[in-house]
Amino acid sequence: QKEVEQDPGPLSVPEGAIVSLNCTYSNSAFQYFMWYRQYSRKGPELLMYTYSSGNKEDGRFTAQVDKSSKYISLFIRDSQPSDSATYLCAMSDYKLSFGAGTTVTVRA
């Protein structure tokens, strides 16, 4: 069983829709939970991170962590075509472990 599970999609939504992404994990030692965004032919870049359980909001992006369920989510409100990318969840104890990534396309 992989430590981090993420549905690779792809996901296609119309502009303005809410995008919902999620990951599950098995390692209880993970303390930091991150979301990275990767545009085509580029390396991933950190979007946001949360520590332990709870919510974090940054503009149109909201990250949620539920450690009791070993489940994390990312929501993108009012999605834009520029949000089209692959989104990867990542988790950290002493090393970084990534999910498979979900490819999102926002249609104009």
**Shortest Å, Cβ 62 to other proteins:** 18
**Shortest Å, Cβ 24 to other proteins:** 14
The reply to whether 18 sits near other proteins by the rule CB under 8 A is: no
Closest C-alpha among 18, 45, 37, 39 to residue 88: 37
Instruction: Determine how many CB atoms are found less than 10 A away from the CB of residue 84.
Output: 17
Which of 21/99 has CB closer to other proteins? 99
**Which range of residues in 11-19, 45-53, 60-68, 70-78 is near other proteins by CB under 8 A?**
45-53
Which of 10/16 has CB closer to other proteins? 10
- Cβ–Cβ < 8 Å for 101, 47: no
CA atoms within 13 A on the CB side of 76: 24
